[in-house]
Amino acid sequence: MPKKAALHHPITRRQLLAAASVGGLALSRPAWAERMIDLPLPGGPGARQVTTAFPQKGTMILQRTRPPLLETPFEVFDKGVFTPNDQFYVRWHWALIPTEIDIDKFTLTVRGHVNQPLSLSLNDILRGLPSVQLSAVNQCSGNSRGFFWPRVPGGQWANGAMGNALWTGVRLKDLLDRAGVKSGAVQVRFKGLDEPVVADAPHFMKSLDIDHARDGEVMIAYAMNGEQLPLVNGFPLRLVVPGWYATYWVKMLNDIEVLDQPDTNYWTKVAYTIPDTPHASIKPGETGVKMVPINKMVPRSFVTNIASGTKVEAAASTTLRGIAFGGDCGVASVDFSIDGGQRWHQGQLGKDEGKYGFRQWQAQLTLPAPGAYNLLTRCSNSNGVAQPDAPNWNPAGFMRNAIESVNVIAV
Amino acid sequence: MRGNLRTVVVLLGVASVPAVACAAPPFELKSLKLDLPDADQMFPAGPGSDAINNNCLACHSADMVLIQPPLSKQAWTMEVNKMINSYRAPVAPEDVGPIVEYLTALKSVK
C-alpha cells in the first residue's frame, strides 16, 4: 500500500494558538502565491490568487489550498479540446491525501458480492486487461457555482472546474467480469486513498448502479492525455464515468465493492443530490422537494477567444471560437446570436474527438455598427437537448448550463 | 534448450499483438513522492477568530472560507452545522456561536 500521508499540515490547538500569537501570520498571503486574478462573480468577491506551487501543475487559480481546489484559467480552453494535465482542475474533499505512492506496492481490490475477490497490482491492470481509450469531459458538479444568483456557499468556481482528456485505461466491466459479479448485485461502490482528518467522518465513496458499472464505457484510467495522472488528479488510477459529473470519477481508486443493497453512504445518498425537477432548478427558499443523486451532464458551450469587455472592429469580420460539449452525448450544433437571442446562426464544428469530449466550434460574424453587443452561444446535443435561456438555481449550486454570454464593444 | 523454448514463446507472444499496439511501448508508471504546499494562513484577528482558528483549520485552509460571498447568519449556521453533523468536525458547543458570528461579521463588512 502507498504510504499514508503523514498529516500534511499537522495542526494542534496549541500550535494554532502559538501561531496566532505571532500576529503577523494572520493576514499574510502565502509566499508562494504569485499574483491575483479577478473572477467576474456577481456580488463578489472575485479576487483569487494564481499559483504554480502545486506539484506537477502549472498556473492555476487557487480556490483552496487544503484540501486543494484549483481552477483552470479560462484561456486554457482556447488552446484546443484537450486540457493539459498540468492545468487540469483539481478538487478534493478530504485533506489526508497520500503524497507518496509506490507503484510496486499499490493494489486495487475488487470485493463484496463477487465470486472471486481480487487484489490487483498496477502491473496486473496495465498488462493483464485490454487497454481502451476515450475522450471525455470531467466537470465538477458545482462548476460555475460562483455565477449562481442568489449566491450559494461552496467552492466559488467560475467556469474552469472542467476539463477534457484522452483517458487510457481498462474497462470496469472487464474487471468486474474477472471477479464474477454474483446475481443480486445492485450497485458498485468506489473508494480512493484519501481520508478525512476526523477519523469518524464519512470516507469519500461513490456508487453506480450495476448495469451502469458494466456498460463497457465506465473505465479505470491510468493515463490522461498519454501521461500518468498528476498526483492531485488521482494518480495512479481514476474512475472515468463518461457523461456523468466528476463526483463519480473517484481519484486514487483502490477499492471497488459490489453491493447487494443500495448504497446508503453519505456521499452517495445525501451529498451531491439535486432537486428532481427540470434543470435541477427550484426557487430560492423552496422546500419539500424530492432530491436525487446528481447524474448525467447537460450541454454547455463557451466562447474562448474573446473575453467580456473586449473591443472588436465594427462592420468587419470577427472570428468567434469556443468549445462545447453535449453532456451525456455528442454535440449536434453550436449556435450564436448577436441580438440577444432573436436570431441564431450556426457555428462550424471542429473535429469530433469523441462524443463525450469537448468539441471546438468557430464562426465568422460581423457586428454591423459601433456599440455594445451581448454575444450568446447555445449548444444543442445529439439527444435534442439545448442549453436553457434562464440559469437554474439550487442550494448546492449544481448543474449550471444556461446559455452563456460575452459582452463586446464594437468600435 | 529450455531457455530457447521460452524465447520462442515470447517471440510468438509479441508477434500476436496487433501492429497498432506494437507501435507504442507498454505504458509505464513511475512512483511519486511529492509535497503539497503549506496552508498556514490564519483567519484575520477579530471577535471569534480564536474559535474559528482552533476548530476549523485542522480539516481545511482558511482561504476558501474567506472568498465566500456574503451569506446570512442563517446560511452560515447551516454551514457550521453541516461541518459538525455531516463531517464530524469536533467543534466545542460553546464555540459554535462565536464561529457563526465571526463568519457573518466577516462577510457583512465586504
What residues of A are in contact with residue B91 (Cβ under 8 Å)?
none
Residue B10 has pLDDT above 90, yes or no: no
Closest CA to A228 of A86, A73, A93: A86
A255 shares a domain with A172: yes
A123 shares a domain with A174: yes
Residue A22, in any domain of the structure? no
A118 shares a domain with A71: no
Q: How many distinct structural domains can be found in chain A?
A: 3
DSSP B33: E
Looking at the complex, does the CB of residue B86 fall below 8 Å from at least one CB of chain A?
yes
Residue A219 sits in a domain whose CATH number is 3.90.420.10
Q: How many distinct structural domains can be found in chain B?
A: 1
Per-residue pLDDT tens digits for A329-371: 999 999 999 999 999 999 999 999 999 999 999 999 999 999 9
The whole-number pLDDT of residue A130 equals 96
Residue B89, in any domain of the structure? yes
Residue A312 sits in a domain whose CATH number is 2.60.40.650
What residues of B are in contact with residue A222 (Cβ under 8 Å)?
27, 29
Residue B70 sits in a domain whose CATH number is 1.10.760.10
Residue A357, in any domain of the structure? yes
Question: What Rg, from alpha-carbon coordinates, does chain A have?
Answer: 22
Domain that holds residue B82: 49-108
**Residue B21 Cα, gap to closest chain A Cα (Å):** 10
Selected residue of A64, A129, A145 to mutate for chain B interface (largest B Cβ count, 10 A)? A64
A310 shares a domain with A225: no
Looking at the complex, does the CB of residue A28 fall below 8 Å from at least one CB of chain B?
yes
Contact A55 B33 (CB under 8 A): no
Local confidence band at B69 (pLDDT 50, 70, 90 cut-offs): very high
Per-residue pLDDT tens digits for A237-258: 999 999 999 999 999 999 999 9
Query: Hey, what's the torsion of the CAs at A72, A77, A81, A86, to 10 degrees?
Result: -30
Local confidence band at B3 (pLDDT 50, 70, 90 cut-offs): very low
Q: By the 8 A CB rule, do A336 and A375 touch?
A: yes
Distance CA A158, CA A43 (A): 13
The grid coordinates listed for A55 are: 506539484
A250 shares a domain with A116: yes
A266 shares a domain with A123: yes
CA distances from A83 to A22, A170, A259, B21 (A): 42, 21, 35, 25
pLDDT mean over A368-376: 96
The whole-number pLDDT of residue B38 equals 87
**Residue B40 Cα, gap to closest chain A Cα (Å):** 7
Per-residue pLDDT tens digits for A32-72: 556 899 999 999 999 999 999 999 999 999 999 999 999 99
The whole-number pLDDT of residue A34 equals 67
Local confidence band at A30 (pLDDT 50, 70, 90 cut-offs): low
Local confidence band at B26 (pLDDT 50, 70, 90 cut-offs): confident
Question: What interface predicted TM-score (ipTM) does this complex get?
Answer: 0.88
Alpha helices (runs of H) in B1-110, residue ranges in sequence order: 2-16, 19-22, 49-56, 63-66, 73-85, 93-108
B43 three-class SS: coil
Looking at the complex, does the CB of residue B61 fall below 8 Å from at least one CB of chain A?
yes
Confidence (pTM):
0.89
Residue A392 has pLDDT above 70, yes or no: yes
Nearest Cβ partner of A64 from B35, B60, B86? Answer: B60
Looking at the complex, does the CB of residue B77 fall below 8 Å from at least one CB of chain A?
no
Instruction: Express as a percent the part of chain A with pLDDT over 70.
Output: 92
Closest CA to A177 of A218, A237, A206: A218
Residue A227, in any domain of the structure? yes
Please write down the HEC assignment for all residues of chain A.
CCCCCCCCCCCCHHHHHHHHHHCCCCCCCCCCEEEEEECCCCCCCCEEEEECCCCCCCCEEEEECCCCEEECCHHHHHCCCCCCHHHCCEECCCCECCCEECCCCCEEEEEECECCCEEEEHHHHHHHCCEEEEEEEEECCCCCHHHCCCCCCCCCCCCCCEEEEEEEEEEHHHHHHHHCECCCCCEEEEEECCECCCCCCCCCEEEEEHHHHCCCCCEEEEEECCEECCHHHCCCCEEECCCECHHHCCCCEEEEEEECCCCCCHHHHCCCEEECCHHHCCCCCCCCCCEEECCECCCEEEECCCCCCEEECCCCEEEEEEEEECCCCCEEEEEEECCCCCCCEECEECCCCCCECCEEEEEEEECCCCEEEEEEEEEEECCCCECCCCCCCCCCCCCCCCCEEEEEEEC
Per-residue pLDDT tens digits for A279-314: 999 999 999 999 999 999 999 999 999 999 999 999
B91 or B14, greater pLDDT:
B91
A132 shares a domain with A67: no
What residues of B are in contact with residue A45 (Cβ under 8 Å)?
67, 69, 110
Domain that holds residue A156: 107-271
Looking at the complex, does the CB of residue B32 fall below 8 Å from at least one CB of chain A?
yes
**Residue B31 Cα, gap to closest chain A Cα (Å):** 5
